């Protein structure tokens, strides 16, 4: 029995399913999860003595690679002064100023501890500001595990076959309108059927929790137009895409200004973090200024803020986005060429440092078309890569990530491994 198998056996006795986030359990791809003891650059080092090229990047935050020395140094400096104060601290002011400077739509921002907290709070704020109850979300978009949003969800909920979670009261579900992505006519119909009732539309502007789906031309602009016309708030969930595709996220790339934006992952430099922000008049509805309550003991934690400041400054100084996009194209080209040679249908949507693998001949434009992908074949591909030394997300419905640490030999080696894995299918 390997060390990872021993650890998993122990974990199963004391942790539900042996994991603290469901997709880590490998249930959709089969096998036993491995345990990591350290990570550096583009590499993971397992409890079994293996080295793996990592395309999960801690599910997005590690855009600069694992264990970056500048981020480590920032955490160490902050740690000298304590781990948590329960009071305002200078770091949270500095990171808030950076976010407001970088993200076009954000004039004020509130820090919290996770992406789930950020989206949950943004929904509450939208309802409090508009004094309406209904929310539109899109099938396959994942916005954390709060009750209002865990309906037709992506990420681990979809991976494990529970896109509609048990424990969500029917009364809550009735306030959430589920629509297909890339369908502006469906949005218009929802507004017509629910006049003056819809508080907000929340979406991942590039959905990345059902694989990776890109918006069709004009779709995001149509949402902005319809929300403005109906007095509804447009909420971009950029927990994944914020600072990963551009300093200002998808809204910078697409030239769309949402009313509220949720952030996470990269802004914590690898430590737990979340944030939501937007127009000042909306944000000022939060307590202590307004009637919408939101709080958190560890919000603005000095260690997470120090790590996030270091990460954002490095991204500003180095502007790695064109280089990361070239890496993403290199991976996309290698996978598609291998699939053509093998005679397999394959879709590899890619944008910047994000890509996904769908074994289907159907172009993926929404939740329904994503489900046409052959999940069993993906499982074989996943294990073929893992056996050869590349770690991809252990689900047919997740997005893979690149980092600046993949530049050079790591991405070239990984492309060869993934090509070999496709050839062996």
- Residue-level pLDDT at 265: 97
Q: How many C-alpha atoms does 346 have within 13 Å on its Cβ side? A: 25
Q: At what angle do helices 302-318 and 90-102 cross, to 10 degrees?
A: 40
Phi, psi at 275, each rounded to 5°: -160, 155
Out of 108, 134, 152, 265, pick the active-site residue: 265
Quick one: tokens of 346? 């394959």
Domains of the chain: 3-63+320-423 (3.90.1150.10), 69-317 (3.40.640.10)
Quick one: tokens of 260? 């509220």
- Residue-level pLDDT at 22: 86
- Residue-level pLDDT at 164: 61
Quick one: tokens of 34? 């491995």
Nearest Cα neighbor of 249 from 297, 208, 206 is: 206
Give the whole-angstrom CA distance, residue 205 versus residue 210.
13
Q: Residue-wise pLDDT tens for the chain (425 aa)?
A: 999 999 999 999 999 999 998 889 898 899 999 999 999 999 999 999 999 999 999 999 999 999 999 999 999 999 999 999 999 999 999 999 999 999 999 999 999 999 999 999 999 999 999 999 999 999 989 998 877 776 665 444 444 444 566 777 777 778 899 999 999 999 999 999 999 999 999 999 999 999 999 999 999 999 999 999 999 999 999 999 999 999 999 999 999 999 999 999 999 999 999 999 999 999 999 999 999 999 999 999 999 999 999 999 999 999 999 999 999 999 999 999 999 999 999 999 999 999 999 999 999 999 999 999 999 999 999 999 999 999 999 999 999 999 999 999 999 999 999 999 999 99
Taking the mean position of all CA atoms in its chain, how far away is CA 262? 11
Give the whole-angstrom CA distance, residue 364 versus residue 48.
37
Whether 45 is catalytic is: no
- Residue-level pLDDT at 90: 97
Out of 142, 206, 367, 391, pick the active-site residue: 142
> Rounded to two decimals, what is the model's pTM?
0.95
Whether 265 is catalytic is: yes
Strand ranges of the sheet holding 233-237, from the earlier edge strand across to the other edge? 108-112, 274-278, 260-264, 233-237, 198-203, 134-138, 176-179
Buried-exposed string 307-342: b where 16+ CB fall within 10 A, e elsewhere: bbbbbbebbeeeebbeebbebbebbbebbeebbeee
Whether 142 is catalytic is: yes
Give the whole-angstrom CA distance, residue 17 versus residue 266.
28
Per-residue three-class SS string for the chain:
CCHHHHHHHHHHHHCHHHCCCHHHHCCCCCCCCCCEEEEEECEEEECCCCEEEECCHHHCCCCCCECCHHHHHHHHHHHCCCCCCCCCCHHHHHHHHHHHHHCCCCCEEEEECCHHHHHHHHHHHHHHHHCCCEEEEECCCCCCCCCCCCCCCCCHHHHCCCCCCCCCCHHHHCCEEEECCCCHHHHHHHHHHCCCCEEEEEECCCCCCCCCCCCCCCHHHHHHHHHHHHCCEEEEECCCCECCCECCHHHHHHCCCCCEEEEEHHHHCCCCCEEEEECHHHHCCECCCCCECCCCCCCCCHHHHHHHHHHHHHHHHHCCHHHHHHHHHHHHHHHHHHHHHHCCCCECCEECCEECCECCCCCCCCHHHHCCCCHHHHHHHHHHHHHHCEECCCCCCCCEECCHHHCCHHHHHHHHHHHHHHHCC
Buried-exposed string 181-218: b where 16+ CB fall within 10 A, e elsewhere: bbbbeebeebbeebeebbbbbbbbbbbbbbbbbbbeee
Buried-exposed string 384-397: b where 16+ CB fall within 10 A, e elsewhere: bbbebebbbbbbbb
Out of 54, 134, 152, 237, pick the active-site residue: 237
Does residue 57 contact residue 405 with C-beta atoms inside 8 Å? no
Quick one: tokens of 412? 């070239």
Does residue 319 contact residue 252 with C-beta atoms inside 8 Å? no
């Amino acid at each position: 029995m390997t060390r990872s198998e021993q650890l998993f056996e122990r974990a199963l006795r004391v942790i539900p399913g042996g994991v603290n986030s469901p997709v880590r359990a490998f249930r959709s791809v089969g096998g036993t999860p491995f345990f990591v003891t350290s990570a550096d650059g583009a590499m993971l080092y397992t409890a079994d003595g293996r080295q793996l090229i990592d395309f999960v990047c801690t599910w997005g935050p590690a855009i600069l690679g694992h264990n970056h020395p500048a981020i480590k140094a920032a955490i160490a400096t902050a740690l000298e002064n304590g781990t948590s104060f329960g009071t305002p601290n200078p770091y949270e002011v500095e990171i808030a100023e950076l976010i407001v400077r970088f993200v076009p739509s954000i004039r004020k921002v509130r820090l919290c501890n996770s992406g789930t907290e950020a989206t949950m709070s943004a929904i509450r704020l939208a309802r409090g500001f508009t004094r309406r109850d209904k929310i539109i979300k899109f099938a396959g978009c994942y916005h954390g595990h709060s009750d209002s949003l865990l309906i037709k969800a992506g990420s681990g909920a979809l991976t494990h076959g529970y896109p509609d979670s048990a424990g969500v009261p029917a009364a809550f579900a009735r306030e959430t309108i589920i629509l297909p992505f890339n369908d502006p006519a469906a949005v218009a119909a929802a507004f017509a059927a629910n006049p003056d009732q819809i508080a907000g539309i929340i979406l991942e502007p590039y959905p990345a929790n059902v694989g990776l789906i890109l918006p069709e031309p004009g779709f995001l602009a149509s949402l902005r137009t319809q929300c403005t016309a109906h007095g509804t708030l447009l909420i971009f969930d950029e927990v994944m895409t914020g600072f990963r595709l551009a300093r200002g996220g998808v809204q910078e790339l697409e030239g769309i200004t949402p009313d509220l934006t949720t952030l996470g992952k990269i802004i914590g430099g690898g430590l737990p973090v979340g944030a939501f922000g937007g127009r000042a008049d909306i944000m000022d509805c939060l307590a202590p200024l307004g009637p919408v309550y939101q709080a958190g003991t560890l919000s603005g934690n000095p260690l997470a803020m120090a790590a996030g400041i270091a990460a954002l400054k490095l991204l500003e100084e180095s502007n790695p986005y064109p280089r990361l996009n070239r890496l993403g194209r290199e991976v996309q080209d290698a996978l598609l060429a291998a699939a053509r040679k093998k005679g397999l249908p394959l879709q590899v949507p890619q944008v910047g440092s994000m890509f996904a693998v769908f074994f289907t001949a159907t172009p993926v434009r929404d939740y329904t078309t994503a489900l046409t992908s052959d999940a069993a074949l993906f499982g074989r591909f996943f294990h073929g890569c893992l056996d050869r030394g590349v770690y991809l997300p252990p689900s047919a419905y997740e997005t893979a990530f690149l980092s600046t640490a993949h530049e050079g030999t790591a991405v070239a080696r990984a492309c060869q491994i993934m090509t070999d894995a496709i050839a062996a299918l």
